[in-house]
């Protein structure tokens, strides 16, 4: 048998010479990987948690290694860019802390349920804090558009917002007082900048059920801030390639699309649920209900409470240390009696959905117009997320969907992409860079990126209806303050 294999090998070589068109040479039409006529020696990313590589309710090294800017940097290097190391503000595992100093990152604790939440272990510490220059990844979880140019003391700001990330990323005013100043102080000057801010200008409103803040950043303010931001960027870096991304529709992310449909599936016939309308804080109005025809967008943390629909409970108020509002009677059945409605903060009702959608439409119009005026190119992430929500994302035999956990694209907080989701985001940026700048950057092979670490526990149900712990739900909302 072995000698046949040797003989077969010899015959292959002989016949390769004798028979035309038969050779061992690699095909000549394989894709090439290069930067076209561009030289790239520095790439810097600006943004929020999506840029930072924040996942599953925390910033931690295992996730930051797969931040979309870090993936882009690796792929740029494969195409011949001499970037050196792409420096990130690494937060050692298990990552950033919650208000009590424990790691805020959620994990899949059990597939039974499933149970998803923080493990209650001590938070990690920064591991790259001695870097004597600004980081290349300037994504700051919780940053809004305003923060890009804001030069007020970021430590004071961070304390006020209970956000540990500004001091972690910006570290010292000597590197620059704002994100922009630090970017400007990076040497050599960036040839490529990715700029993706503005998500939190609407997400804070949406993830708090339209309660805190009670409106997104206004379209006018957003327009002014965006123009200022790109003006400054373009003036500081007249020759850089600037790639911006627009704002995805919040209604496409599992934070909003998971619990609602699960509850709606139980809303049959005349069965209806009373809820607080936007801006109200008392009993339901006795005439507005969530029904099979009017399914709610319930936020992910509401999963801790919707399982109690129909029981007399004030768990939401007690768990969140909130006083029971006047007129609300927690001895009544939750949701089934208008005197004990589903709290406004757990629901994005139709009016709130429209507010968020209008804000995003206005933002994205601004982004397109300002980018065109400042010679920046746009990644239409909004269109991509909508398409994924509708049809999923199919690559190399693997199918991703926008479903919570099972879809593979989002991390356990239902807002931020998983490592593979970040790979898809990176590839969309690369696609735009390749087509607009004449580059041939290889795309990241999504199949090589890690998934969500899974416990080997049992899981009985078919649907992922998460039981988020109370502290987990609080951490999610705190991020947008």
Binding site for other proteins (CB under 8 A): 1, 4-5, 7-8, 11-12, 15, 19, 21-22, 24, 26-27, 29-33, 111, 394-399, 405-408, 418, 427, 434, 440-445, 447-448, 450-454, 456, 458-460, 462
Q: Smallest distance, Å, CB 15 to other proteins?
A: 5
The token pair at 93 is: 């595992």
d(CA 427, CA 448): 14
Nearest-approach distance from CB 244 to other proteins, in angstroms:
22
How near is the Cβ of 447 to other proteins at its closest, in Å? 6
> Please, what is the minimum distance in Å from the beta carbon of residue 435 to other proteins?
12
- Residue 126 tokens read as 């920064």
Which of 106, 363 has the CB closer to other proteins? 106
The runs of H, that is alpha helices, within 150-306 are 154-161, 165-170, 179-184, 200-207, 219-236, 254-257, 259-264, 303-306
- Pick the closest to residue 56 from 105, 117, 121 (CA basis): 105
Max CA pair span of the chain: 92
Name which of 48 and 75 has its Cβ closer to other proteins.
75
Q: List phi, psi (to 5°) of 13.
A: -65, -45
111 versus 229: smaller Cβ distance to other proteins: 111
Minimal distance in Å, beta carbon 73 to other proteins? Answer: 16
Q: Report, in Å, the least distance between residue 344 CB and other proteins.
A: 32
Query: Which residue's CB is nearer to other proteins, number 238 or number 397?
Result: 397
Q: How far is the CB of 270 from other proteins (least distance, A)?
A: 31
Structure tokens at 303: 């999963």
Q: Are strands 273-274 and 289-290 parallel, antiparallel or unpaired?
A: antiparallel
Residue 44 or 449 having the CB closest to other proteins: 449
Nearest-angstrom CA–CA distance, 188 and 480: 33
Q: Which CB, 175 or 459, lies closer to other proteins? A: 459
Residues 6 or more apart in contact with residue 386 via CB below 8 angstroms: 248, 249, 252
Give the burial class of 239: count Cβ atoms within 10 A of its Cβ; 0-12 exposed, 13-18 middle, 19 or more buried: exposed
153 or 398, CB closer to other proteins? 398
Among 98, 159, 124, 108, residue whose Cα is nearest residue 472: 98
- Please, are residues 217 and 202 in contact by the beta-carbon 8 Å criterion? yes
Select 179 or 444, whichever has its Cβ closest to other proteins.
Answer: 444
Query: Checking phi first, is residue 95 left (phi over 0); if not, alpha (psi -120 to 50) or beta?
Result: left
User: In this structure, are residues 403 and 464 in contact, taking their beta carbons and an 8 Å threshold?
Assistant: yes
Locate 110 and state its tokens. Answer: 């059990």
Q: CA-CA distance, 58 to 98, in Å (whole number)?
A: 9
Q: What residues pair up with 440 in beta bridges, in sequence order?
A: 34
Token digits for 329? 């009677």
Q: Which residue lies nearer to other proteins by CB, 9 or 120?
A: 9
């Amino acid at each position: 048998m072995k000698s046949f294999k040797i003989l077969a090998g010899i015959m292959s070589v002989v016949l390769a010479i004798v028979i035309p068109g038969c050779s061992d040479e690699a095909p000549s039409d394989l894709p090439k990987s290069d930067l076209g006529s561009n030289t790239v020696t520095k790439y810097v990313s600006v943004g929020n948690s999506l840029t930072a590589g924040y996942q599953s309710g925390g910033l931690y090294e295992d996730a930051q290694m797969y931040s979309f800017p870090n993936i882009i940097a690796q792929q740029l290097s494969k195409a011949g860019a001499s970037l050196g190391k792409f420096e990130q503000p690494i937060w050692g595992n298990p990552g950033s802390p919650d208000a009590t100093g424990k790691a805020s990152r959620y994990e899949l604790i059990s597939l039974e349920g499933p149970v998803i939440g923080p493990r209650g272990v001590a938070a990690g510490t920064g591991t790259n804090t001695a870097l004597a220059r600004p980081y290349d990844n300037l994504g700051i979880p919780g940053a809004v558009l305003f923060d890009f140019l804001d030069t007020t003391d970021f430590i004071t700001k961070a304390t006020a917002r209970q956000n540990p990330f500004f001091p972690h990323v910006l570290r010292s005013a000597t590197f620059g007082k704002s994100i922009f100043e630090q970017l400007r102080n990076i040497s050599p000057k960036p040839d490529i900048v990715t700029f993706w801010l503005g998500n939190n200008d609407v997400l804070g409103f949406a993830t708090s059920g339209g309660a805190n803040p009670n409106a997104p950043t206004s379209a006018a303010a957003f327009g002014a801030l965006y123009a200022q931001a790109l003006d400054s960027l373009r003036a500081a870096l007249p020759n850089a390639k600037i790639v911006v991304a627009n704002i995805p529709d919040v209604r496409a992310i599992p934070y909003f699309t998971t619990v609602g449909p699960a509850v709606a599936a139980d809303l049959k016939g005349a069965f209806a649920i009373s809820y607080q309308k936007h801006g109200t804080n008392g009993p339901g109005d006795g005439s507005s209900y969530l029904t099979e025809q009017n399914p709610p967008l319930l936020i992910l943390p509401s999963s801790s409470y919707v399982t109690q629909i129909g029981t007399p409970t004030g768990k939401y108020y007690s768990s969140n240390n909130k006083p029971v509002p006047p007129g609300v009677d927690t001895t009544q059945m939750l949701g089934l009696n208008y005197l004990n409605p589903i709290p406004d903060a757990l629901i994005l009702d139709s009016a709130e959905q429209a507010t968020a959608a209008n804000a995003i439409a206005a933002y994205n119009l601004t982004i397109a117009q300002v980018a065109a005026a400042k010679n920046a190119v746009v990644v239409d992430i909004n269109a991509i997320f909508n398409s994924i929500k509708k049809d999923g994302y199919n690559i190399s035999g693997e199918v991703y969907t926008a479903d919570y956990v099972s879809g593979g694209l989002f991390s356990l907080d239902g807002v931020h992409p998983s490592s593979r989701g970040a790979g898809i985001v990176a590839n969309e940026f690369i696609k735009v860079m390749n087509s607009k700048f004449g580059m041939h950057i290889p795309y990241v092979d999504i199949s090589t990126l890690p998934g969500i670490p899974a416990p080997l526990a049992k899981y009985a149900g078919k649907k992922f209806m998460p039981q988020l712990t109370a502290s987990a739900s609080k951490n999610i909302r705190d991020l947008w303050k």
